[in-house]
Amino acid sequence: MEIKSILVTGGSGKIGRNLLPALVREGYKVRALQFKTPVNVPGVETVSGSMCSKETVMEALCGMDAVCHLATSKEDAGFLDTSVKGLLNLLDGSREIGIKQFILAGGDASLGIFFRKHPHPLNESAPVEAYPGYYALSKVMEEVMCRQYGVQYGLPFTILRFSWIQDEDDLFSHMLLQAPDFGFPIWRDIAESAEQKKYFANSMEGAGCLLHPGGKPYVRHVVGISDVVQSFLKALGNPNATGETFNIAAPAPFSYDVLAEYVAKKQGCPVVNFTLPEYYDFTIDINKARSVLGYEPQDDAFTMIDKAIEFRESGRSRTESRYNG
C-alpha cells in the first residue's frame, strides 16, 4: 500500500500540531482541513470549512491517498456535528474517491477507563463501555462507524486508540497542586482535611498522590505525544494495519505514589496525599501495536516529567488544551 498524500482533520489540536510537521519531514504531501483555528505549518496546504459540508469535505479529499482523522468535539454542543454528521461525510467521501487508508484517532475513553473496574490489562478485545458524557460516547460511535464502513463498503480503516495524551508540561501540571490544574482530579476540588486545604489557602506547592480508601495508590496509563506521532508513522501504508484497532500508550503505567515522589524531588516540594473512593486503576495492553506495527514507545511517565521541566525552563508558553483528561 503506497501512501503519498494525506488529509489531516483536526490539525490545530494537540496531535495535529505535532503530527503535521512530522508528516512533512517524512516526505508526504500533506493537506489540513481547518475549521475555526488556522493551521500554520510550513509545507502543509489547507482547505477551510466544516466537515458538515459535503462539498468542503470532497474538496479536501480530492487527490489524497489517506486520511488521518483527528477532529473531535470536546463540547456537548458540537458532538453531533463533528462525530456524526462530519464523520459520515468524511467516510462517505473516502469511500467514493477510493481512499487507501482511513486512520481514526480513537481514545481509551471508549473503554470506560477510571470509571469502570478493570482487573486485567485492557487489550483490543476489551468490551466497549464508555464512561458518562458525550465525549466518551463519541469515541465509541466513531469506532463503530469506521468499522461498519469497513464491513459494509470495504473501506480500509485503522483505529489508533490513545490513552490520555501528554505534551509540553501536561503531566507535570497534573501532578502539582497549583494551577494550571491539568486533568482529573483537580486537587483543590478533592481537598478535605485542614492539612490539604492549607496548600491552596497559602498557595503552597506540593505533588499530589492519589490514593484509594485504605491507602493503596492509584495506577494509571497515559501516552507521550512523540509516541502518538510514532504510531501514526508506523501505521501509515502498513498493510497489516488494515481493519485493525491498536491500543497506543506509554511503555508502562505509573503509580501515583512513585511518580509523586519523583515530582516532589524535582520540584523541591512535599508529597500530599488525597483519597478518592469512586474510581479504579487501569493498565493498557500495547502488545498488539508492538508486534504488528513495530510500535516502540519511548516516553514513560518519568521521561514525560523530565521533558515537562525542560519545557518550563525554556520559557515557552503553555498551549491551551481543549481536552483535560
Domain holding 30: CATH number? 3.40.50.720
User: Are both 43 and 73 inside the same structural domain?
Assistant: yes
pLDDT band of 320, cuts 50, 70, 90: confident
User: Are both 113 and 75 inside the same structural domain?
Assistant: yes
Q: Is residue 292 situated within a structural domain?
A: no
Q: Is residue 294 situated within a structural domain?
A: no
Question: Does 251 sit behind a cis peptide bond, omega within 30 degrees of 0 on the bond before it?
Answer: no
Mean pLDDT of the region 55-77: 91
Residue 113 near residue 282, CB atoms below 8 Å:
yes
User: Are both 189 and 81 inside the same structural domain?
Assistant: no
State the Cα–Cα distance between residues 317 and 315, nearest whole angstrom.
Answer: 7
User: Are both 94 and 24 inside the same structural domain?
Assistant: yes
Asked if pLDDT for residue 325 goes beyond 90, the answer is no
State the Cα–Cα distance between residues 251 and 227, nearest whole angstrom.
Answer: 10
Tell me the CA distances in angstroms from 8 to 1, 46, 66, 241, one per residue in order. 18, 10, 9, 18
User: Are both 206 and 85 inside the same structural domain?
Assistant: no
User: Are both 215 and 309 inside the same structural domain?
Assistant: yes
What pLDDT sits at residue 83? 78
Residue 77 near residue 113, CB atoms below 8 Å:
no
What domain range is 310 assigned to? 170-220+252-284+299-314
Q: Is residue 323 situated within a structural domain?
A: no
Asked if pLDDT for residue 9 goes beyond 70, the answer is yes
User: Are both 144 and 186 inside the same structural domain?
Assistant: no
| One-letter identity of residue 70 | L
User: Are both 57 and 176 inside the same structural domain?
Assistant: no
User: Are both 124 and 213 inside the same structural domain?
Assistant: no
The domain that holds 271 is classified in CATH as: 3.90.25
What CA dihedral angle connects 241, 123, 324 and 266, to 10 degrees? Answer: -110
Q: Is residue 229 situated within a structural domain?
A: yes
Q: Is residue 147 situated within a structural domain?
A: yes
* pTM for the model: 0.96
User: Are both 216 and 227 inside the same structural domain?
Assistant: no
User: Are both 193 and 306 inside the same structural domain?
Assistant: yes
Total domains in the chain come to: 2
Question: pLDDT per residue over 285-297, tens digit each?
Answer: 999 999 999 999 9
User: Are both 108 and 43 inside the same structural domain?
Assistant: yes
Residue 1 corresponds to which cell in the numbers above?
500500500
Q: Is residue 14 situated within a structural domain?
A: yes
pLDDT band of 84, cuts 50, 70, 90: confident
pLDDT band of 80, cuts 50, 70, 90: confident
